[in-house]
Structure 1
């Protein structure tokens, strides 16, 4: 069946033809003619806020996709208010919804052809959920408003439900992975840049290591347990666990204790936060009656992505004589790609 292509002189495209053609400029949703709805990455437009009980939505543009109908482009050149917040329930919390709605009479037989912003109050409940628009076919969520019970605090706005879209091949910034990804698609999850290899998301962005260096030797008094270096003597390293859940930790330095044949000195680290671990033979370097100039690297896996991990250098020695030395230390903590 022949169609009218965009754009040839003398041809007149109807709305559906134009919207389907526009779909070529928007990220696919994994279907032949489908697109991903959303605002543009980095665009502060269509942001929902509260001024007392008045709901405001800033000026902005969005692409709203609808199955079988291509994409609708809607632009709001000035801020709008979809209404006033419904009063809080006496004892129960509520979640309200603010969304962008498109009316298209050729699709919904509404008698209207326009776009607007709508406020829809939810139902108060012990475990409230955001409402679903009824009688509205073409729409895109902009924000939810969490309304506590009366006297339980002020309502708060969350834009987590507002989707983001981009041009085909663009990097999509989003809290959740895009559905139906194609091989070679990139997605920025807020922490790492990910690439779909056809079966899984792999981290491809460079993950910056955290490096700290020893400034001073530990105190002269011998101690019978592993002890943290003071922050001024050797700072701890803090990283965010990547999506792989894996971190590589390397510690090294000059470790010596020649005070006697049984004199010992240890250099290692303690982990807190995403991992609980202290210095042991599994993660340290040591010397007994001798000198050791070495480093030790270990990998820790199965950590919670997004969690904070603190690695603190530790030391131990059983003498405080001139033969004891723990110096020139360096700590490297590297988040690992998945």
Structure 2
């Protein structure tokens, strides 16, 4: 089947042909000859705001996709304004603001232009945003939650607006769907790559994070694992690397000569991507005289990109004079990301 490649002298192109070719420059939407619709990040983004009852739409650029028609590129110097419909006496409402492309050859509207449209929703006990009627070519920009009269101020949400980037670009969208192996997205806290089955974190926290002990309590709680305060020994919060594997080390100078059988323990507990209490498996200890030691353990099978907090703790069986009789000082806690084997 012959097609017309662009930019060749002597060939004539219609709008649909050129719109389909424009999909070459935009991230895919998973449809053959399609492209992902959305506003262009950093372009002004056609942001919607409220000033009293006036709806304002900023300038911006966007791609609007229509099935079978390709991508319409829209650049608005100003999105314009509209007046918010008055609130219902007793019911809430959700309104929609959207970018519309009018293409007479497709929608028989008699117009060929693009503009911003405000569509008031239907008051209801469970209101939802309205859907533009007919076969309109459009891109949602924002919803406006309008409470009943006297129920507070209306509020704008931009959550319905998609964003798009050039083909192969990184989408700043935590909910972006993976369409091909090697696609990237920014989920708001880091970079992720689609491997064909799941999003995997990329290049997160490739250096070891260390927390040095600053001091200890003026008197120890006895008989139970107890957190050091952040001012005494700060916890570490970090992100699980792509391997899902980390090494946690804790070391300390310990002694407890309060009685002939007194003990002192220093360890850690974990929360977030790993839940673990302080036990013999993740602690160093002493019974009586001084000991300097470090314990390193490896934890694997964690969720890449997930947050994990490691909090240093102590546990003494009994306590005497702090610093000379009972001492848990000069410690260091570290969390080291490990590569996949």
TM-score when scaled to structure 2? 0.86
Q: Deviations over 1:178-214 (max 9, x none)?
A: 25x1111111111231111122221113236653210
- What SS is found at the alignment partner of 2:331? strand
Contact 2:165/2:171, CA 8 A, preserved across alignment = yes
- Structure 2 distance, partners of 1:137, 1:334, is 54
- Structure 1 distance, partners of 2:218, 2:180, is 57
**Map of 1:223-238 to 2, 5 A cutoff?**
223-238=222-237
- Structure 1 distance, partners of 2:219, 2:72, is 72
Q: Which moved more, 1:114-123 or 1:316-325?
A: 316-325
Tell me how large the CA RMSD over aligned residues is: 3.1
- Structure 2 distance, partners of 1:337, 1:131, is 49
- What SS is found at the alignment partner of 1:102? strand
Q: Deviations over 1:282-328 (max 9, x none)?
A: 4332222352501243648778987x765432212223353543223
Classify 1:143/1:301 alpha carbon distance in 2 versus 1 (closer, same or farther; 3 Å). farther
> Paired residue for 2:202, among 192, 204, 226?
204
Q: Which residue of 2 aligns with 1:21?
A: 21
Determine whether 1:184 maps to 2:182. Answer: yes
Contact 2:99/2:139, CA 8 A, preserved across alignment = yes
- Structure 1 distance, partners of 2:264, 2:171, is 51
Question: Shift in Å at residue 51 of structure 1?
Answer: 0.9
**Map of 1:132-211 to 2, 5 A cutoff?**
132-178=131-177, 181-207=179-205, 210-211=209-210
Q: Which residue of 1 aligns with 2:255?
A: 257
- What SS is found at the alignment partner of 1:50? strand
Question: Shift in Å at residue 147 of structure 1?
Answer: 1.3
State the aligned residue count: 334
Classify 1:97/1:247 alpha carbon distance in 2 versus 1 (closer, same or farther; 3 Å). farther
Q: Which residue of 2 aligns with 1:266?
A: 265
Classify 1:51/1:205 alpha carbon distance in 2 versus 1 (closer, same or farther; 3 Å). same
Classify 1:19/1:88 alpha carbon distance in 2 versus 1 (closer, same or farther; 3 Å). same
Classify 1:91/1:305 alpha carbon distance in 2 versus 1 (closer, same or farther; 3 Å). farther
Q: Which residue of 2 aligns with 1:117?
A: 116
Q: Which residue of 2 aligns with 1:330?
A: 332
Q: Which segments of 5 or more consecutive residues in structure 1 lack a partner in the other structure? A: none
Classify 1:102/1:273 alpha carbon distance in 2 versus 1 (closer, same or farther; 3 Å). same
- Structure 2 distance, partners of 1:281, 1:273, is 21
Q: Deviations over 1:90-121 (max 9, x none)?
A: 22222111110111111112221111111111
Question: Shift in Å at residue 65 of structure 1?
Answer: 1.1
TM-score when scaled to structure 1? 0.86
Q: Which segments of 5 or more consecutive residues in structure 2 lack a partner in the other structure? A: none
Classify 1:55/1:17 alpha carbon distance in 2 versus 1 (closer, same or farther; 3 Å). same
